[in-house]
């Protein structure tokens, strides 16, 4: 196994990128970072990293280039800039840890390969808490030797799992998040319906956790972020909505059109567009609560 790279570039220092940088710096990796937000750059500097003036300036300092950006549109634009500059050395590797679109990742791998640059997709699951605890699930797509080179770096953040060729990590990540989006929506509806019946929220969450309905939504998201009124998981509703759409689009492209998926994606898109921009995805419980409040209680017997 190769040694851990001593120096990397990292573009995207938001909710995930910032604590990832801090963890790598603590592990002795020199992080040259760029973000369009000056506050994010300041945070990097105070964590001991080097703030760069552009993605190309960050990339010029390293041969491993990590991206942790909101979506494929932005990933593609940053790669356009990097390819237009001379920052990417032959033999260097781009590691896209964003939750990107698998087919666009395959296209990015191809255009980087034409310049002698490797590509690994390594999106993550486990959120900000997972970065802080160093126990992210990291879904890796690509081939050796690029994967072997970046594995020691990924292991600082959690457990990498090789799921297939380029794009497979991004495909698995989008599909995981579609399932997760369905869980949180269904859990929230169940808790709110239970409450209307007279079962306290806490009791219904306990019931789910002791029964077959349990998931990360009932075990973590409801107790930690919704029942407490915190709504601060660090994962925006708009990003989850994006992931659900990517997963549904993937099924369509592959000729496996999901039946449940489009409904889940459509509901999340509606909630994300009606919530204030940047809202945490756990705010969906409050959004549902107000949607239900507008529906007056029905009289008569519940449905059989």
Give whole-number Cα distances, 33 to 69, 109, 233, 242, in Å: 12, 22, 24, 25
From 41-49, 69-77, 85-93, 215-223, span contacting ligand NAD (CB under 6 A):
69-77
- Pick the closer one to ligand NAD by CB: 16 or 51: 16
Out of 90, 173, 221, 242, pick the active-site residue: 173
- Pick the closer one to ligand NAD by CB: 41 or 205: 41
Instruction: Tell me the torsion sign for CA atoms 291, 295, 300, 303.
Output: negative
Beta carbons within 10 angstroms of residue 12's beta carbon: 28
Q: Does 78 bind ligand NAD (CB under 6 A)?
A: yes
Give whole-number Cα distances, 25 to 17, 20, 31, 33, 48, in Å: 12, 9, 7, 11, 7
Angle, vertex CA 144, rays to CA 139 and CA 147, nearest 5: 40
Angle, vertex CA 139, rays to CA 95 and CA 266, nearest 5: 100
Tokens coding 75: 């990933």
Residue 112 phi, psi (nearest 5): -70, -40
Q: Using CB under 6 A, pick the residue from 122, 124, 182, 284 that binds ligand NAD.
A: 124
- Pick the closer one to ligand NAD by CB: 61 or 199: 61
From 74-82, 86-94, 210-218, 262-270, span contacting ligand NAD (CB under 6 A):
74-82
Q: Does 235 bind ligand NAD (CB under 6 A)?
A: yes
Q: Using CB under 6 A, pick the residue from 9, 63, 92, 99 that binds ligand NAD.
A: 99
Q: Does 184 bind ligand NAD (CB under 6 A)?
A: no
CB-based burial label for 216 (10 Å; 0-12, 13-18, 19+): middle
- Pick the closer one to ligand NAD by CB: 56 or 128: 128
To ligand NAD, the closest distance from the beta carbon of 147 in angstroms equals 19
Is 242 annotated as catalytic?
no
User: What residue ranges bind ligand NAD (CB under 6 A)?
Assistant: 11-17, 34-37, 40, 68-70, 74, 77-78, 98-99, 124-125, 127-128, 234-235, 239
């Amino acid at each position: 196994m190769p040694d851990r790279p001593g120096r990397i570039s990292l573009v995207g220092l938001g909710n995930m990128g910032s604590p990832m940088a801090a963890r790598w710096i603590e592990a002795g990796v020199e992080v040259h970072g760029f973000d369009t937000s000056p506050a994010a750059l300041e945070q990097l500097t105070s964590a001991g990293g080097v703030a760069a003036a552009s993605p190309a300036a960050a990339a010029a300092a390293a041969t491993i280039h990590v991206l942790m950006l909101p979506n494929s549109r932005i990933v593609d634009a940053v790669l356009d800039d990097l390819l237009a500059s001379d920052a990417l050395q032959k033999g260097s590797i781009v590691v896209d840890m964003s939750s990107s679109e698998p087919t666009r990742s395959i296209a990015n791998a191809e255009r980087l390969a034409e310049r002698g640059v490797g590509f690994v997709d390594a999106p993550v699951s486990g959120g900000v808490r997972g970065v802080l605890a160093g126990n992210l699930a990291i879904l890796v797509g690509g081939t050796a030797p690029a994967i072997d080179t970046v594995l020691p770096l990924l292991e600082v953040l959690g457990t990498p799992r090789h799921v297939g060729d380029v794009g497979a990590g991004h495909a698995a990540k989008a599909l995981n998040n579609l399932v997760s989006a369905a869980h949180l929506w269904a859990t929230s509806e169940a808790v709110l319906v239970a409450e209307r019946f007279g079962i306290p929220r806490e009791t219904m969450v306990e019931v789910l956790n002791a029964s077959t309905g349990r998931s990360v939504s009932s075990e973590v998201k409801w107790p930690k972020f919704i029942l407490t009124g915190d709504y601060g998981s660090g994962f925006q509703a708009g990003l989850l909505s994006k992931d659900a759409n990517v997963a549904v689009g993937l099924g369509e492209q592959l000729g496996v059109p999901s039946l449940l998926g489009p409904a889940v994606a459509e509901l999340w898109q509606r909630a994300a567009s009606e919530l204030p921009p940047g809202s945490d995805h756990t705010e969906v419980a409050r959004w549902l609560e107000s949607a239900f409040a507008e529906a007056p209680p029905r009289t008569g017997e519940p449905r059989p």
